[in-house]
Amino acid sequence: MENDEHDGRAAWLGLAGSVCVVTGGGSGIGAATALELARCGALVAVLDRDGRAADAVADAIACAGGRAMSVQADVTSEDAIAAAAQRIQHELGSSRILVNSAALVGYAGPLMHADLAQWNRMLDVNLTGALLCIRAFGAQMISAGAGGSIVNVASICGHLPLPESGAYSVGKAGLLMLSRMLALELARHGIRCNSVSPGLVRTPATEAAYIDDTVAAGRSRLVPSGRIAEPTELASVIAFLGSERAAYINGQDILVDGGLSQALMSLVPKPATSTDAFTRK
C-alpha cells in the first residue's frame, strides 16, 4: 500500500511486515491510524465494536494494496478481546504494535449529578478496556520475545479538566498514568508504552461540536496554530511512536494540540498600556 508520498516515510519508519492492532479502528483517529500504518507496510488488525465500520476500513486498506483484517469486539469484554487476540495471531501473527484508540466521549453533566452507570461505562471503555487489550496483546509481544510498542490515545482533557464531561477527563488522566506505569513494568521485555494526547480534532465523535460555524471558528481561534486538527495528523505521530525510530522513547506523552495547552496566559485580558504598567515607577 504505497504511493510516492509515503514511500520514503514508510521505509524510514521500518514498519513493513509488523503486525499492528488498532482498537477503535472503525472511525476517527483509529481509522486514520490504521490507514497510515497500512500505508507504511504494516499488517493491520482493525478492531472495533462496530463490525461494519471495521470492515469498511479493512476493505479500504485492501483496495489500496495493503493487508488488513477486521475484528468485531468490545474492548470492555475480557473474553472477546482474548478471542480477538487469538484470531489475529492466527491470521496475521503476533502483535508488535498496539494502538488503543477506542473511546467514549460526551458531556454527562456535573459530577455531583452524573449517572453512575454512564460513569462506569466510560471508565470501562476509556481506561479498563485499554488495560484488557494491553494484557492480551502485550502477552503476545512478551511470548514472541522481539519487544513491541504500545500507544494509548489519551487527550488534552487528561491534562486539563473538561467540566461536565463525567468520567472523560478522569479516565484520560488515568490512561496517562497507566501508560507511565506500564512503561516501567514492560521495559524489561523490550516493550515501550507511550501516549498521545490530541487537542481539538474533528472526528465523527466530535462532529456535533462543529456543526455551528460560529462555534467552530471560535474554537479555531483559541488554537495558536489557528485551526482544528485532522485525524491524519494524530495518525502520523502514533505511527512514529510505534516504530523503531522512537526506540528510546518510553513512558512519554506527546500533546498534539497546535499549542492549545500553552495558550492560557495569552487569553488573560491585558490593559491597553500593559508595557507601561510594568515599567513605570
* Residue ranges per structural domain of the chain: 4-262
Residue 5, pLDDT score? 56
Section 31-38 average pLDDT: 98
Instruction: Let me know if 107 is a catalytic residue.
Output: no
Q: What is the mean pLDDT of the chain?
A: 93
Report pLDDT digits (tens) over 110-126.
999 999 999 999 999 99
pLDDT digits (tens, 9 = 90+) for 141-154: 999 999 999 999 99
The band of 277, judged by pLDDT with boundaries at 50, 70 and 90, is low
d(CA 136, CA 147): 15
Looking at 37-113, which runs of residues are DSSP E strands? Answer: 43-48, 67-72, 97-100
| CATH number at 4-262 | 3.40.50.720
pLDDT tens track for 148-191: 999 999 999 999 999 999 999 999 999 999 999 999 999 999 99
User: In 113-244, which ranges are continuous DSSP H helix?
Assistant: 116-123, 129-144, 168-186, 213-222, 231-242
Structure-model confidence comparison of residues 209 and 231, the more confident one: 231
Which one, of 220, 216, 206, 215, lies nearest residue 258 by Cα? 220
pLDDT at residue 278 tops 60: no
pLDDT-derived band at 78, boundaries 50, 70, 90: very high
Q: What are phi and psi of 143, to 5 degrees?
A: -65, -40
Closest to 181 measured CA to CA, from 171, 169, 194: 194
CA distance 189 to 77: 26
Is 10 a residue whose pLDDT tops 90?
no
Name the catalytic one among 107, 168, 210, 248.
Answer: 168
Asked if residues 242 and 99 have their Cβ atoms less than 8 Å apart, the reply is: yes
Over residues 198-203, the mean pLDDT reads: 96
pLDDT value, residue 104: 94
Tell me, what's the pLDDT at 144? Answer: 97
Query: Checking phi first, is residue 48 left (phi over 0); if not, alpha (psi -120 to 50) or beta?
Result: beta
Q: Which residues contact 257 (CB under 8 A, 6 or more apart)?
A: 156, 197, 198, 199, 200, 223, 229
Q: Cell triple for residue 217?
A: 471558528
